Structure 1
Amino acid sequence: MTKARAVSDRPAEHPVDQGEDASPRSRNRRGQGLLLREEILRAATALIVRTGSDQAVTLRSVAREVGIAAPSIYAHFADRDAIVEAVVLEAIAQLHQGIADAVAEHEDPVESLLAGCAAYVDFGVREPARYRVLFGWAHPKADSPAAELPGRRQGLDAFQTLVEGLRACVSAGRSSSTDPFADAVAVWTALHGQVTLRADLPDFPWPPTDTVERMTRSLGRIDS
């Protein structure tokens, strides 16, 4: 386990709040450490949702939100990047679970594929700030192996659900795709564009979200 650095080693751009701005908060009873960790995570998520950016997450702002002194955070997170990483991992897990639940509700491969794609867009539209941080937050140092980037495996698992769904359509004779992986990339690109454009241009006269079905059927080469 990586040890948290001493307070004096913290980067200057993330000053440590010694608690002068924190609201009084009763100490957690023995065995409630996980409760404080959850409160820290909820506070960081709330900051991201309110501001639309993970830049609002600092040790000082999270501590103030929870009502604790900033040094108390170190028992649960090494630094602010570790907090944002936890928010990202939770968002990915919820997105993946939502897709999996939607897919499982249908036996027909096409309906299953369409439901999964709709669930993806639904999450992005409902949670624009959390969705944006999945792709826009400052990742670890460039020298970190790609396989170790937080959320990479979970994100690939979610994408694999799309690939497998399209392959199921091909196997059932419902899609003429000859390269399910490439066509799944095209579908994902379109879904991501749908989510980000709706978030960035809310005043545009967007058509109903059934455009997701039209895009999926077209790019997934669904025959019927």
Structure 2
Amino acid sequence: MFWRSGKVNGIHLVVNSVNLKGVTVNRRPSGTHHGDLRNALEQAALALVTERGPHGFTLAEACRRAGVSVSAPYKHFADRDALLVSLALKGYQEQQRRYRAALASSTDPAEQLAAFASAYVRFAAEERALFDITFLAGLDKGRHPELAAAGSALHDDLMPVTSRVTADPDAAFDLLVRVSAAAHGLALFLQQDMLPGAWNTLATVEAQAARTARDLVGHATETTSTGGRHVHRDR
């Protein structure tokens, strides 16, 4: 029997499959991918970033990997950067989840920052594609202010901890930058196999990040108690 879309007795008929000579052709509504085009494209992009890095693929390649037409993603993403921004926001959300759990593991600020530094290294190792997109994709925060807001949310979670080490806001910010920079550098060392032999393991680098955080807290505490001066950041 030949079917066509139309009205029969006032009822719309929508055809999802057509039987021609015993061959059934299944049709999927335009602009969807098993009901979740957005997620399919994000997963395809993550796989490509894992293989090639955040600069090594095009939106068309993500479409092919997801099994959709090259025109399909524009319903959700204006361009490749918009797709990466969506993933970067997921990266920030995952970091926030992990870092809040780390901060909740202790009430001592030195141990809280040590746990944060360790969690930073573990996030970079376990979520390599999200880490690379978040920090290495070169996304323009001026064009995508939601990224700046997501980064500020992490800052807002961590500043109260460093502010318990030193009451000076500039010194507290300086401590947060130092701890974060040390953890970031160690995470990259681990990723790029820059540490020798037994030192180039996740457990070892996590421990190193934690020790460094404790040392930085100790230095900040000593500086505060002796009335040392700190370099003030621009306001």
TM-score range normalised by the length of the shorter chain: 0.7 to 0.9
Unpaired runs of 5+ residues, structure 2, are 1-25, 223-235
What SS is found at the alignment partner of 1:179?
Answer: helix
- Residue in structure 2 matched with residue 157 of structure 1 by the alignment: 153
- Residue in structure 1 matched with residue 51 of structure 2 by the alignment: 50
Confirm or deny: 8 A CA contact 1:43 1:62 kept in the other structure.
Answer: yes
Structure 1 Cα separation of the partners of residues 110 and 122 of structure 2: 18
Confirm or deny: 8 A CA contact 2:42 2:87 kept in the other structure.
Answer: yes
Unpaired runs of 5+ residues, structure 1, are 1-24
CA gap 1:203/1:120 in 2 versus in 1, 3 angstroms: closer
CA gap 1:26/1:122 in 2 versus in 1, 3 angstroms: farther
Q: Does 1:74 align with 2:66?
A: no
Moved more, 25-34 or 195-204: 25-34
CA gap 1:166/1:64 in 2 versus in 1, 3 angstroms: same
**C-alpha displacement of 1:94:** 0.7
Amino acid corresponding to residue 126 of structure 1 in structure 2: E
Moved more, 105-114 or 27-36: 27-36
Amino acid corresponding to residue 163 of structure 2 in structure 1: R
CA gap 1:71/1:220 in 2 versus in 1, 3 angstroms: same
Confirm or deny: 8 A CA contact 2:49 2:57 kept in the other structure.
Answer: yes
Indicate which of 201, 220, 223 corresponds to 2:217: 220
Per the normalisation by structure 2, the TM-score is 0.69
- Residue in structure 2 matched with residue 22 of structure 1 by the alignment: none
Confirm or deny: 8 A CA contact 2:118 2:209 kept in the other structure.
Answer: yes
Structure 2 Cα separation of the partners of residues 214 and 74 of structure 1: 47
Amino acid corresponding to residue 180 of structure 2 in structure 1: W
Confirm or deny: 8 A CA contact 1:177 1:220 kept in the other structure.
Answer: no
Identity, in percent, stands at 24
What SS is found at the alignment partner of 2:36?
Answer: helix
Report Cα offsets for 1:110-144 as digits up to 9, x if no partner: 3322222211111012223321222221324xxx7
Structure 2 Cα separation of the partners of residues 127 and 31 of structure 1: 27
Structure 1 Cα separation of the partners of residues 97 and 148 of structure 2: 16
Confirm or deny: 8 A CA contact 1:43 1:66 kept in the other structure.
Answer: yes
